[in-house]
Structure 1
Amino acid sequence: MRIAFISDIHSNIHAFERVLEELEKEDVDKIYCCGDIVGYNAFPSECIRLVKEKIDGSVMGNHDYATLTGNTGWFNEYGVEGVNYARRAISEEDMDFLESLETHIYLKVDKLKIYITHGSPRDEIFEYIFPDSKDELLLTLADMAKADVLVMGHTHLPMERRIKGKIFLNPGSVGQPRDGNPKASFMIFDTESREAHFKRVSYDVDKTAKAIMEKGLPRFLAQRLYLGI
């Protein structure tokens, strides 16, 4: 089975639509999202609608949780602005959808146990697992999840680590990449070959940045999209 993984859409409808266009060209069986559908950018409701229409499953990210609860105590000013805007912009039906999101998805495919979450099995919404995390930590997390493959989001950084037969993946961010590459990021994982294929696609950053400014969101949120930071 070929499974597409996306993460951290962050209300960036233009990037999300381009990723979905690319996935239509790929022979994928399922698409899963590692959370943070909303936050930062200008189109939270539109992104929720597309997730409901096109994605086979999504977990809850910290920005989804903050939008649902109004709790932004751990966010910087840009995160707070994005959450407050999302809470104003989305409908009650959208809120119900965010509330319905689980904090992890567990798959059994081709003798593989795959654990999908936003943060980590230890703290599914908030913990950051960076690409340079220590082997010992990653193996501990795989043991906690009772999984062969961990797929996580949250850092906005693509990751592929293989340690003692365990696989640790992050598809990077659709809507706000932070690895110095402004192109939207996603990943396709083949459960038979166990190979991960990371993909990048360009989108209309100008249009996204213009919408951010028109909605009164911080200028930095527009500027960072050009830089991939």
Structure 2
Amino acid sequence: MRLAFFSDIHGNLEALQAVLEDMEKRGIDRCYCLGDLVGYGPQPEEVVGKIRELGIPTIMGNYDDAIGFEKESCGCAYNPGRETRVGDESIKWSIANTSDTSKEYLRRLPHTIEFEDEGVSFLLVHGSPLEHLLEYVKPTTPPERLERLLEKAGSDVVVNGHTHLPMVRWIKGKLLFNDGSVGRPKDGDWRACYLLVDVNRGSLSYEFLRVEYDRKATIEKIAKAGLPAELSVVLALGEGYDMGSTGESNSMEFTL
């Protein structure tokens, strides 16, 4: 069974379309979206429409919650000052440019999805098994916390998003993945990122895939919409991060 997991599109339609096209070429059996369809980017309505049109199983992210319920904050750990103002401006703009129908869809998204394939059980969550929307599970998260999260999950494999940092951790016979970000990477690589997992009779192999897309088109749309220029800078640079501690590998196999 070939599975794909992606998240944190953040209104970047060009990146989403590129990832969906790449999945089609690779013969994906099923794909799942781990939330944050909206926020930051210039096309929240179109992204929601594409996910709905394709019927992709999707869970709620903190930005989906904020836009769907028209909140003033997404609950993100912004730095005080300009970063907070940019986030708040993005939320207000996204609320104003997302239809009531799409907001209702976002409000109805579940916080988790659980399933089993080929003898391997999966839990999908945006943040963590304990704090579904807001906890940042990072490469620097202590092993003791990871053990508690995986114990709470009770599944062989947990896949989350939220941090925009691709990651894999092997903790006491269980796997924890972060699928990176389609529309707003933060690991120094501007390309859209998603996670490919092959499962066969209790064995699992994975690969983080990077997909180029038309950044220029997205950046031009950000400017045309009047969104903060910082949002374009993040897409242009991939927002630098030390990849050495993420645990990311191009490909690896596990038996669960």
The percent of aligned pairs where both chains have the same amino acid is 38
What TM-score comes out, normalization by structure 2 length?
Answer: 0.87
Give the corresponding residue for 1:223. Answer: 233
> Cα deviations across residues 154-213 of structure 1 (Å, max 9, x unaligned)?
000001111221000011000000000000000111122311111001111111011001
SS in 1 for 2:116: strand
Decide whether aligned partners of structure 1 residues 55 and 3 sit closer, same or farther in structure 2, where only a CA change above 3 A counts: farther
CA contact (8 A) 2:69 2:107 kept: no
Q: Which moved more, 1:59-68 or 1:80-89?
A: 80-89
Does the 8 Å contact 1:131/1:158 carry over to 2?
Answer: no
Match of 1:200, SS?
A: strand
Shift of 1:107: 0.9
Task: Output the amino acid matched with 1:127.
Answer: E
User: How far did residue 131 of structure 1 move?
Assistant: 2.0
Aligned partners of 1:31 and 1:55 also within 8 Å: no
* Residue deviations 1:139-161 (CA, integer Å, cap 9, x gap): 21111111110100000000111
Q: Which whole-Å CA distance do the structure 1 matches of 2:224 and 2:205 have between them? A: 42
**Quick check: 68-77 or 206-215, which moved more?**
68-77
The letter of the residue matching 2:20 is L
Q: How many residue pairs get matched?
A: 229
**What's the counterpart of residue 39 of structure 2?**
39
Within 5 A, what are the aligned runs for 1:147-166? 147-166=155-174
For 2:87, give the aligned amino acid. G
* Structure 2: unaligned runs, 5 residues or longer: 77-83, 240-256
What code does the residue aligned with 2:89 have?
E
1:77 partnered with 2:85: yes
- Tell me the C-alpha RMSD between the 2 structures: 1.2
Q: Which secondary structure state, in structure 1, belongs to the residue aligned with residue 94 of structure 2?
A: helix
Q: Which amino acid aligns with 2:151?
A: D
TM-score normalised to structure 1 length: 0.96
Residues 40-71 of structure 1: per-residue CA shift (max 9 Å, x gap): 01000100011112353111111111102222
**Residue 209 of structure 2 corresponds to residue 181 of structure 1:** no
Q: Where has structure 1 moved over 4 Å in runs of 4 or more?
A: none
